[in-house]
Structure 1
Amino acid sequence: MSFDGIDVLGAENGRIPRFDSIPAVITSSVEANKAVTPDLPGAPILGHININTFSPFETEGFGLSATVGAGTRDLNDAETQRYALRASWSNDRFGVLAFGTLDKRDRNVDNREFAPVDTTGNGTLDSLESLDYRQYGGYRENNSYGAKAEYRPAEGPLDRLFASSIYYGFADEEERNQLVFDFDPVPLKSAGRIDGISVTRLLEQGRYETSTFTNTIGADFEVGEWLVEPRLNYTETENYMRLPLVQTMNFTPISANYDIRDLDDPVLTPFALGTSTPVDVNTLSPNLSLLINIFNKLETDSTKGIIDVERDFGNTKFEAGLSYDQREATGNNAQVVTVGLPVNVNDYATDTLWDAEFTNTIGGVYYRNEALRDSTFNALLAADPTYSPIPEFTPEDAIGIEEDILAGYAMGTTEFGRANLVYGVRVERTDFSTSGNQVIDGVATDIDASNDYTNVLPSLHLNVDLAEDWKLRLSATTGISRPTYTEARASQSVDPTNRTISGGNPDLEAEESLGFDASLEWYFDTASILSAGVFHRRIDNVIYPGGATVDGSDFAPGVFAAGEQVPYNTFLNGEDGRLTGVEFNLIYSAADFLPGPFDGFGASGNLTILDSEFFAPEIGANGINAPIPGTSDLIYNASVFYEKYGVSARLSYQWRDAWLSTTESGPNLNQYWDETERLDAKIQYTLPFEYGGARTVIFAEANNLTDARDRRYIETDATPDQVEAFGRAYMFGVSVDF
């Protein structure tokens, strides 16, 4: 992902950005390139997103855009808030812009998770041995701020000089109330009574944060007939998680009636053991109490210099560029378990039952989790002044990364009457080193590794105007996707007792793709288009989590004998990846077809059919074929809208088929997210008058109108392991543009 053509690191694992935290108030337009050209970073395999931000010169003189919104979610009446402000000033030569946003949503989520098992040994999940009831609260928020300044001299070789600074972040303040019931396996789709159930309670008030801070200075020069564009960028990201988890375990068994014929809403009614006397699971006296204090942090920084040049040679535009990117990442995980709690957890239970869409026959209540967390930490600190609520990092999870990427490209765009050809090549050299720890029986030893590779990435694009209203596009492209910093870390843990190794894999190869695209577009009226496209990607070295059998002496020669084969739980490269699909798009405006007032109607839609697969050789005895993670076989969306008389109304529907989440559980245990749908609506009205030159818009939004739930399953949808409900959400607000 890029801002104004400068690609930035993602906050999650050094690669993955959170698109939902990017501020809309600074976004002028979004460019989505499925077939990338050599001037774009080589990292994308399936496409590249570039966010063009507003210029201070968008509005002459003083400009202001402000939005205020408030709303609610029907699950527990959770509140939502939205604030956005962008202000700018410019004259003929100089412009400045500043912005800030806050989008906060109270959170109330129903969650049910399950533990399906195979009781016959034939590889089929046929029973359940656990029901996990959860209620999540707290809030989520996105916030951003930044500024831009730009100078455009009246004459001379300098066209413009600019500087920009953008910060955007996401925070999840999470409250968890959880009750887990473990029992001997019972058949799926059954109902009856269970005796001998143990109850585990988990309570948490935690926080998860990601942030990106990107800063760019640049200039555009005209040197003779050349356009020269130097840029210097510095970006920092942070990924932070703190989850202090209080856990109590009750080994004195209870009984329950159960009904799991509908796993979207499992029913369990607890009783005292062997009786029909109801039992309050919130008052059970625990046999064991724990504080599981989890903390992790990953920080990255990148300094990148870029210079691009451009010149026209007759009917050909030539472009070339060089970039050098120095990246560093440091991080670690921590998990410290304290046995025995200095507080009575039962004292923090309230009388308020969960506000749940799911059945709450277990009698789940809310706890004062923040007070429980603080009281626990304060009591531990009073007993031991050296105690720290921030646990020490675990050496085997340490991440230390240095990555240098040198890239250069050359490309041309040649016009041939009714066609043009875009062609060129990009070369990227990656030098990667990682340091960490090898931990054997709790003893840490420094370990480091390195890797380097060069990728040559040619591409070719042909665009032909078959007629005034028909366009043909053909493309052949190449791309790469580097391992995340967690996947490629050097740190590892060696278990001499169980004869296993786990950790990162610095020898991972980048995923490489070769792609072909073809599309035909019909512009059948001024604002209407119908298009169809086909595409294919051959993807080598697909990265997946799994286990390999290795010679243990290559990793820990003092622990494993030469030639001793041991399992290594890590990240691996798959083989023979492919992604093939067809896509249809429609944008229809009735403005040229229907008389008023019906000419304000319109519709848009997209249908994508995909087929993907890769081979994971280290899963199972002979490897498995699986879909590429994150890809669905079928995706479609449709919108109908009306825009006239100051009214803009839109109803949008999205649907996607199931997609693979992870393969790490082993053969026949692949985890999938089930099909999802969303129905959203928005209506806004521009007031027919201006006050002081300001245009005012009032709006209303409604999301998830069908009250859709998210569902995850193992191998088949008959064996779900998680169901979540979020409820519908509504917002009302006003925007002012001056």
Structure 2
Amino acid sequence: MNPHTPHRLAAAVLLVSAQMAIAQTEPQMEETVVVANSIKQSETAAILAKRDAFNVADVISADTIGRFPDQNLADSLARIPGIAIERDQGQARYVNLRGAPFRYTSIAFDGIDVPGAENGRIPRFDSFPAVITRELTVNKAITANMPGEAVSGFINIETHSPFDKEGLSLAGDIGLGEQDLGGGDVERLNLRGSFSNENFGILGFYSENSREQVTDNREFDFGLTEDGTLIPNEVDFRSYKIKRSDEAYGGTLEYRGEGALSRVYLTTLYSEFVDEEERNQYVFDFLAPQPGETAQGVPLSVTRALQSGSYENSTFTNTLGADFTVAGFEVQAAYNHTETEFLQDLPITFQTAGFAGLTADGPVPYFGDYDFSNQTDPLLFLSSPLAPGETADPANAVFLANLGIGVFNPLDQEVNKYKLDLQREVGNNSTLAFGLQFDQREAQGGSITQAVVGFPVDTVTINDFNTGALWNSNTTNTIGGTVFDNPALDAAWQASGAYPSKEVPPENEIRINEDILALYGMYTMQFDWGSAILGLRVEQTDVENIGVDGFVYEDDFTNWLPNAHLNFDLADNLKLRLSASTGVNRPTFNEWRATAALNPVDEEINGGNPTLEAEESYGFDSSLEYYTENGGILSAALFYRVVDNVIYADTTMVDAGLYDPALAGQQYNYIGFLNGSDGEFAGIELNAVYFLDELIDGLGVSANLTLADSEFTQENGEVVGLPGTSDRIWNAAVFYEKFGISVRINYSYRDDWISPIEDPQEFWGEMERLDAQISYTLPVNLAGSETMIYASFNNITDETDVRFAGNGTINQSESFGMHYLVGLRINL
């Protein structure tokens, strides 16, 4: 049985139960939360939620999410001031909040924080579809009842409730579209059904998104002469064919009463992301590099890599809870069980030392004429001295080394969470709250493992899988790259019996048990002039880290995390906020592991560091917010954070013989993790939402700008920026809604930044996106339903994303084109 079948059955039971209840109930002429409100109403509701908050926070309503062409929550969050998105092959994946590393952001569903599937700490927002969300709240100043891991922010994902609407509620969304490059299908399906009466409610939902695309990729290794002239060492031509899909389902059973027991509920959510990826790649090494962007007749060799693999991650989270009153206290008690799975499985057919042919005198290199003056469209023309006057086909290269590489990286995590919150009024307009949370976390898996075997070229002829079809590409395919049937090649490889083992060796294992006990107290006071919160959270961490041969590294530490928040109502529509907060960020499981593994292919050794200390932070926020009479907002915020024990990757040269005696004397790069010091990030956020009804009824604009800066000191004394920090982030939107027509155009921009998942010496160049959506709500309601047709367009300007090496030269350029989606939404 599929391990997720029980999860699917649970979701199906909830959906069927809702449908049975619906069949017994007459449809009502009542609007739903998701789409029925106008843009102005939904924006105003979110602004009012921000206004009423006791801390610095931003809110996105469900309707705002529904009216954007968002595939996942990262896209939705991109419009909040201070948030920048890190993308993979054009698709939103990680969130950088206020220029901080994405590991500094914690996420929760309905107030219950959940661990990230990747490395146990890092939330991947591409696995959570936007439509499961009723409201998103981004807490930028942390209160004591939020987890300490939220160094830069705490994002609460509020899901839909069966009590959002009494009686029947049904919502459906289906969409079809196409990716411009490669003509891949874009599909969307979302269903939600609920029923509630005065006391009982049931809700079920299902969501599925998929997108097929081709990514056109070029990578470089450029050196520089003393006068700054390029020296091409290597150029890499790649074509990816990918299918990315996310699926989510779950539901809620809930009872609401009027006595001491006010609420009992059970919620379940399963969400997964699957990235199926085929790669066709040729890497050309210049054997006699020549300075300059153009040259002719340069000898070169070729490497070919063919891959059919996948990346998968999933989160299965279940919460049983009750809200009740006892002895004057409002009590919220909850138990949560969460399982996450992460798997990277990439079998690669790897052929290197490729030449035009072999003679009695040895290998005969290819020759290349190139023009790299346009580095996002490099031109390389191959020729062979064995066939003068003809263009050479790299698929016919003679490879001296044929290898099979299995890249395997699993990580499973299981978390039991016990949460208790108590609150009661004390005195006039004052509230005392305190509580506890106990997390038991178990993580088991491995760091990236590369198993290397000889490829069975005697039984599997690789060129038999060459389809002959030229790559789909935005750039000029001067090398004549063709598509291989990589899944069929992989199947033949498996059948040969020479396939690499999908096992994690002991030296690469991750086995970590972690217990976190948190206690907090919080006192909230409301006055004529505003409000104040004083809070303290204490987190005790015990960790057991199991290494090779049963070696156990144990550690425990305690973090005291005070915070304070002041809110001043300077006028009816003018609010000043001042906040101070603290946080702690523990190492990821890969960073913390007590093992190290040798990678002979790349001549690297990758190891964890069980002695790493958790990052500790404190910071300050201030915000001045002016709420306009027509429901808009103008605001300015300042933020500053200090981070000690900054965790970063470090590379040094070591004797590989320390890890394998057969390699004694060979120098390998050792990539490990250290604690830096004196980390800080700071900046300013400006935000405006304004409705121009006096000029044109139904017209509105929104814009936000964040200016940020960050740095920390490495162990060697070098001062560098924190990964994820862009100096400038801004978003702007124009929207219009009238006569059932809704139009919204959104532009987002961030300038260059360092990615923590790449080489820390590399950085991404500026990135921008232009998206749009237009919809029309039909004027006729059928049985109380609202029907909308829509069309959405992403990456309208067909942007190319560019990355740079540490010496400032370009080292990657990738493009994927625009995609569109046309769909239908129905709400009952």
Give runs of aligned pairs for residues 489-528 of structure 1, distance below 5 A: 489-493=593-597, 502-528=606-632
Q: Is the 8 A contact 2:229 2:292 kept in 1?
A: no
The number of aligned residues is 705
Give runs of aligned pairs for residues 52-71 of structure 1, distance below 5 A: 52-71=158-177
Paired amino acid for 2:641: R
Tell me by how many angstroms 1:379 deviates.
Answer: 2.1
**Alignment correspondent of 2:508:** 397
**Alignment correspondent of 1:442:** none
Give runs of aligned pairs for residues 11-90 of structure 1, distance below 5 A: 11-90=117-196
CA distance in 1, matches of 2:275, 2:582: 37
Deviations 1:267-292 (A, max 9, x none): 10000038442111112233332211
Correspondence 1:211 to 2:309 = no
**Alignment correspondent of 2:4:** none
**Alignment correspondent of 2:496:** 379
**Alignment correspondent of 1:330:** 444
Aligned to 2:463, the other structure's residue is in SS state helix
Q: 1:691 to 1:716 in 2, by over 3 A?
A: farther
Tell me by how many angstroms 1:540 deviates.
Answer: 1.0
Deviations 1:509-545 (A, max 9, x none): 1111111111111112231110011111111111110
**Alignment correspondent of 1:265:** 377
Aligned to 1:487, the other structure's residue is in SS state helix
Q: 1:152 to 1:663 in 2, by over 3 A?
A: closer
Tell me by how many angstroms 1:185 deviates.
Answer: 5.7
Question: Which residue, out of 689, 709, 731, partners 1:587?
Answer: 689
Question: Which residue, out of 244, 268, 273, partners 1:140?
Answer: 244
Tell me by how many angstroms 1:232 deviates.
Answer: 0.3
Correspondence 1:599 to 2:697 = yes
Q: Which has the higher strand share?
A: 1
CA distance in 1, matches of 2:504, 2:656: 26
CA distance in 1, matches of 2:607, 2:325: 51
Q: 1:116 to 1:395 in 2, by over 3 A?
A: farther
Q: 1:467 to 1:165 in 2, by over 3 A?
A: same
Paired amino acid for 2:561: L
Tell me by how many angstroms 1:335 deviates.
Answer: 2.3
Tell me by how many angstroms 1:501 deviates.
Answer: 6.8
Paired amino acid for 2:509: A
Tell me by how many angstroms 1:336 deviates.
Answer: 2.1
Paired amino acid for 1:652: N
Tell me by how many angstroms 1:504 deviates.
Answer: 0.4
Tell me by how many angstroms 1:57 deviates.
Answer: 1.0
Aligned to 1:691, the other structure's residue is in SS state coil
Tell me by how many angstroms 1:127 deviates.
Answer: 2.0
Range that drifts further, 235-244 or 565-574: 565-574
Tell me by how many angstroms 1:499 deviates.
Answer: 13
Deviations 1:444-472 (A, max 9, x none): x3332122211111111110110111110
Question: Which residue, out of 460, 470, 484, partners 1:343?
Answer: 460
Correspondence 1:614 to 2:712 = yes
CA distance in 1, matches of 2:621, 2:338: 33
CA distance in 1, matches of 2:685, 2:731: 12
Question: Which residue, out of 276, 293, 297, partners 2:406?
Answer: 293
Correspondence 1:457 to 2:557 = no
Q: Is the 8 A contact 1:108 1:135 kept in 2?
A: yes
Give runs of aligned pairs for residues 150-549 of structure 1, distance below 5 A: 150-153=254-257, 155-184=258-287, 186=289, 189-249=292-352, 250-251=354-355, 252=363, 253-273=365-385, 275-313=388-426, 314-332=428-446, 333-341=448-456, 342-380=459-497, 390-437=501-548, 445-493=549-597, 502-547=606-651
Q: Is the 8 A contact 2:451 2:500 kept in 1?
A: no
Paired amino acid for 1:578: E
Paired amino acid for 1:616: Q
CA distance in 2, matches of 1:551, 1:474: 53
**Alignment correspondent of 1:635:** 729
Question: Which residue, out of 796, 803, 806, partners 1:712?
Answer: 803
Q: 1:115 to 1:566 in 2, by over 3 A?
A: closer
Correspondence 1:97 to 2:203 = yes
Q: Is the 8 A contact 2:542 2:556 kept in 1?
A: yes
Deviations 1:124-163 (A, max 9, x none): 894221111000003000111111100113x431001000
**Alignment correspondent of 1:736:** 826
Aligned to 1:361, the other structure's residue is in SS state coil
Range that drifts further, 340-349 or 206-215: 340-349
Q: 1:501 to 1:376 in 2, by over 3 A?
A: closer
CA distance in 2, matches of 1:260, 1:550: 36
CA distance in 1, matches of 2:756, 2:185: 33
Q: CA RMSD in A?
A: 2.7
Question: Which residue, out of 679, 687, 699, partners 2:770?
Answer: 679
CA distance in 1, matches of 2:615, 2:297: 49
Q: Is the 8 A contact 1:412 1:423 kept in 2?
A: yes
Deviations 1:687-738 (A, max 9, x none): 1111111111111000001111111111354x11111101001000001111
CA distance in 2, matches of 1:27, 1:484: 27
Aligned residues with identical type, % of pairs: 44
Q: For structure 1, list consecutive stretches of 5 or more residues without a partner in the other structure.
A: 381-386, 438-444, 560-564
Paired amino acid for 2:502: P
Aligned to 1:659, the other structure's residue is in SS state coil
Q: 1:188 to 1:139 in 2, by over 3 A?
A: farther
Q: 1:95 to 1:732 in 2, by over 3 A?
A: same
Q: Is the 8 A contact 2:234 2:283 kept in 1?
A: yes
TM-score, length-normalised on structure 2?
A: 0.82
CA distance in 1, matches of 2:606, 2:396: 40
TM-score, length-normalised on structure 1?
A: 0.91
Correspondence 1:692 to 2:795 = no
Q: 1:676 to 1:92 in 2, by over 3 A?
A: same
Q: 1:5 to 1:181 in 2, by over 3 A?
A: same
Q: For structure 2, list consecutive stretches of 5 or more residues without a partner in the other structure.
A: 1-106, 356-362
Deviations 1:47-106 (A, max 9, x none): 110001111111211211110000011111111000010111111111111111110100
Aligned to 2:755, the other structure's residue is in SS state strand
CA distance in 1, matches of 2:655, 2:294: 48
CA distance in 2, matches of 1:637, 1:204: 37
Paired amino acid for 1:107: Q
Aligned to 2:550, the other structure's residue is in SS state strand
**Alignment correspondent of 1:727:** 817
Tell me by how many angstroms 1:214 deviates.
Answer: 0.5
